[in-house]
Amino acid sequence: MGFWRQTDGSPVSGGRLLQVGLRSFFLQAAWNFERMQNIGWAWCMMPLLKRLYLDPARRTQAIKRHLEFFNTHPYLAGPILGYAIRVEEKVAAGQGASPAEVTALKMGMMGTLAALGDNFFWATLRPLAALLGVGFALFTGGAPSALGVALFLVAFNGPHLATRFLGLFQGYRKGPEIVAFLRRVNVQRLVLWMQLAGLVLLGALLAAFLEFARFDPGKPSRLGPLEYAAAGAALLFLLRRKVSAVRLFFVILAACAAAGLLRG
C-alpha cells in the first residue's frame, strides 16, 4: 500500500508508475523517421518529470533530454522507462547520478530489447496466437466461431500486458539489476518450444483443412485432396525459395482463372 501512495517524500509512487505505463500505450503515436519514438517517450516521462523538477529551467532541460532519439520494442519499453525514472529520481535529488547516465542507459538497452521483442512477440507469439485463433475459428466443426478471435486476443495480450506493466515496475525496483535479470531469461529456448507447438498445431490444421475444404458436388469451389496436395507441395517449394506469398497469390489467381476458362 505504501508503494502506491508514497509517503517518504518521493514523487514516484505506484500510481504514478501506472500512469506512465498507461501512457506507454501511445509510445509510437508520433513515430517519425528522424528520432522515432522520441515524442511518445517524452510524453510517458512527463508526469514524473513535472514532479521531480519543480524548477522550470531544470524541468525544460530534463524534457529536452527525453526528446532525443529513442526506438525500441513498444512492449519492452517498460523496463527502460522504469530504470530511467529511477535514475532521473537520483539526478533530481542530486544523489550522484548525472543526466548523461539517463541517455546512456536508454541507448544501451533499447537495441537489445528491440531485438528480443521482435523475435519473441512479432516473429513467434503473434503468429502462434493467430494460428491458434484461426484453428479455433475455422476447424472446430460447424459455423466459424468468434471464440477463435477471443482466443487470439487473450493468448497474445496476456503476455503483452504482463510484459508492459511488470517490466515497468521491475525496471524501477531493480534498477541496474534489470539488465542482468533480462539476460537470464532464455528467450531463444522459449521461441524454439513455441515453434515446435506451432508446427504441431499446423499439422493438425492441415489435416482438418483437407476435410473442411474437400470436394463436394454441391460446392463447386472445392478441389480434391490430391489436387490440394500437389498444389501445396508446389507452393511450399516456392515459399522456401523466398517467393513472396503475395506473388504466389497472383500466380494462383491466374492459374485458376485460366483453368476455369479452359474447362469452359
Partner 1 sequence: LIHPLAFNGTLVGLALLAGVAALDAMAAFQFMISRPLVLGWAAGWLGGDTALGLTLGCILELLWINVLQVGAFVPPDLQFATLFTVGGTLLLHSRAALGEYPDPEAVAVFLLALSIPLGFLGGLAEQRLRRLNIGLSHWVDRRVEARKPGAIGWSLAASMTVLFLKGACLVLVSLMTVLPLAGFVLAHAPAPLVHGLSWAYWLTLLLGMLVVADLFWNRRFLLPCAASFGAAWLLTQGAGLPWRLVLGLALAVGVLMARSRFLLRPEV
User: Could you say whether residue 175 binds partner 1 (CB under 8 A)?
Assistant: no
User: Could you say whether residue 16 binds partner 1 (CB under 8 A)?
Assistant: no
The residue count of the chain comes to 264
Region binding partner 1 by CB under 8 A among candidate stretches 82-90, 100-108, 123-131, 176-184: 123-131
Q: Compare residues 104 and 257 and give the one whose CB is closer to partner 1.
A: 257
Residue 31 CB, shortest distance to partner 1, in Å, is 6
The single-letter DSSP state of residue 121 is I
User: Could you say whether residue 131 binds partner 1 (CB under 8 A)?
Assistant: yes
User: Could you say whether residue 75 binds partner 1 (CB under 8 A)?
Assistant: yes
Distance CA 255, CA 262 (A): 10
Instruction: Choose which of 14, 127, 159, 175 interacts with partner 1 (CB under 8 A).
Output: 127
**Partners of residue 219 on adjacent β-strands:** 216
User: Could you say whether residue 210 binds partner 1 (CB under 8 A)?
Assistant: yes
Q: Compare residues 87 and 151 and give the one whose CB is closer to partner 1.
A: 151
Instruction: Choose which of 156, 168, 171, 172 interacts with partner 1 (CB under 8 A).
Output: 156
- Cα distance from N-terminal residue to C-terminal residue, the chain: 76
Distance CA 25, CA 18 (A): 11
Element (H, E) at 253: helix 245-263
Q: Compare residues 8 and 34 and give the one whose CB is closer to partner 1.
A: 34
Report the candidate in 58, 56, 57, 28 with the shortest Cα–Cα distance to residue 42. Answer: 28
Distance CA 27, CA 37 (A): 6
Binding residues for partner 1 restricted to 215-244, rule: CB under 8 A:
220-223, 228, 231-232, 235-236, 239-240
Residue 180 CB, shortest distance to partner 1, in Å, is 24
Taking each helix axis as running N to C, give the angle between helix 99-117 and helix 77-93, from 0 to 180 degrees, rounded to the nearest 10: 170
